[in-house]
Structure 1
């Protein structure tokens, strides 16, 4: 499927999704919101994909919402205004809970919604010189649609409030310092750094990756006894869905000293991959 505002490539276990409105610095308009939902549908239906990388074309990741198309133009029609922006909230929520690993490859300007997508992805790597910002305060509102949630769940309180209240920008290097991204690297190394991270993830069991995300999200607001009960239930789920691969394959290989878990990943049998795809 081709999209008006996105470019999607699926290569084996990796999907790459690019915001593609470079003439608008990849600002998110209503068409892009619709396209994102369709693209996520397509990626989720791909049985082999383990990682989704999100990036932008041109010199921007995303400048955030298209202020004219999302706000000014539909404003006089309350129902249209509501529908236009509700679509965005749906795909933001889907991205946060997406069943495969998501990586933001932040190649350029990331403001508002672009800042939010960075915060919603599981992992993020940025070029050192990119600019992040929450400029909403500069046109009279606060970061909404989940943007405030994204900054408060990725950055310390004082830094989060500073950028929310001032509209100041921060660099990729500062974003790394404050926890918004995992790493900031020279722009020329960005793709290679993301490729390296993808390479580490695609060798893992896809069911384990999904359940590891679910356990993390599910236990963040639990006390320790409830968290242990929850993760034990998920371990039983993992065992059932993978035929105890962690015991029957991974630890059997460790028993033969064919790999060291602290340094490498066990070799997964193709038969297990085929069985999981057909499940």
Structure 2
């Protein structure tokens, strides 16, 4: 695993290209350390996750994560707990997470794309939940990712058959935001990142919290939660949305429906 931090953007590269970036115990440890480093930086607004070589991730390394430690229950538990820990951390990460799916994405790779906030894929990327082909169902969050990102009939079809689908189909199902030709993948991802890094990081984080909460509640509870988080946002940002953004709008220096306000003024 390689980590690059460039101002407000961090990029994590899964780096086992000879194994299609299958996630082994060392990669799981590295991912936890990468998330620690990004959190410690405090300036990162966007985290891009991608794979080196021709794959995003072929999922869990079946031999190193399952077959070899299986006879020792505690070793098996510890080996996989490290993986499950960073999956949960990434899902709740304060920065916006973007999956850049450049090739094969199977099992845990589908999970990784599914738990990221946003995702861009090459049209020819190949996705699959192949667990049924070796006798189990997608576990460790992979079924959750399918259930929360794909329509029911499609999720069950791929879970039950182990069939594959392309990046273009992943866009149609809603697993990724956009599918583009492979040679346009970097540029398409960069366009999304540029939109995000201009935003207030506190607002980005709280917007994620509000979305996740409001998916599972009724409207009155959602409104109450919205209002509480709006007060929290105002307190944490010195009322930037009123004192800077709306003051700029009052002067007609930008149009909220088409662009964002100038945050340089907010910091001056």
Shorter-chain TM-score above 0.5: yes
Aligned to 1:166: 161
Aligned to 2:183: 188
Aligned to 1:12: 7
CA distance in 2: counterparts of 1:13 and 1:86, whole angstroms = 30
What does the per-residue CA deviation read over 1:97-139, in whole Å, with 9 as the maximum and x for residues that have no partner? Answer: 0000000000010000111000000000000001000000000
Q: How does 1:58-97 map to 2 (within 5 A)?
A: 58-97=53-92
What does the per-residue CA deviation read over 1:67-101, in whole Å, with 9 as the maximum and x for residues that have no partner? Answer: 00001100110110011111111110001000000
CA distance in 1: counterparts of 2:131 and 2:267, whole angstroms = 48
TM-score w.r.t. the length of structure 1 is: 0.95
CA distance in 1: counterparts of 2:219 and 2:114, whole angstroms = 26
CA distance in 2: counterparts of 1:46 and 1:190, whole angstroms = 27
Q: How does 1:24-63 map to 2 (within 5 A)?
A: 24-63=19-58
CA distance in 2: counterparts of 1:218 and 1:159, whole angstroms = 25
Note if contact 1:131-1:172 (Cα within 8 Å) is conserved in structure 2: yes
Task: Return 26-35 or 262-271, whichever deviates more.
Answer: 262-271
Are 1:123 and 2:118 an aligned pair?
A: yes
Note if contact 2:244-2:265 (Cα within 8 Å) is conserved in structure 1: no
Aligned to 2:148: 153
Aligned to 2:213: 218
2:174 to 179, 188, 198: 179
Note if contact 1:242-1:272 (Cα within 8 Å) is conserved in structure 2: no
Q: CA deviation at 1:271?
A: 5.7
Distance 1:239 1:198, change over 3 A: same
What does the per-residue CA deviation read over 1:10-56, in whole Å, with 9 as the maximum and x for residues that have no partner? Answer: 00010000000011110000111111111001011112110000000
Q: Which runs of 5 or more structure 2 residues have no equivalent in the other structure?
A: none
- For 1:103, what is the secondary structure of its paired residue? strand
Note if contact 2:111-2:141 (Cα within 8 Å) is conserved in structure 1: yes
What does the per-residue CA deviation read over 1:145-195, in whole Å, with 9 as the maximum and x for residues that have no partner? Answer: 000000100010000000000000000000000000000000000000000
Aligned-CA RMSD value: 0.9
TM-score w.r.t. the length of structure 2 is: 0.99
- For 1:48, what is the secondary structure of its paired residue? coil
Q: Which runs of 5 or more structure 1 residues have no equivalent in the other structure?
A: 1-5, 274-279
Note if contact 2:104-2:125 (Cα within 8 Å) is conserved in structure 1: yes
CA distance in 2: counterparts of 1:200 and 1:69, whole angstroms = 39
- For 2:169, what is the secondary structure of its paired residue? helix
Aligned to 1:258: 253
What does the per-residue CA deviation read over 1:200-230, in whole Å, with 9 as the maximum and x for residues that have no partner? Answer: 0000000000000000011111110000000
Note if contact 2:118-2:176 (Cα within 8 Å) is conserved in structure 1: yes
CA distance in 2: counterparts of 1:217 and 1:185, whole angstroms = 27
CA distance in 1: counterparts of 2:199 and 2:182, whole angstroms = 28
Distance 1:47 1:242, change over 3 A: same
Distance 1:240 1:200, change over 3 A: same
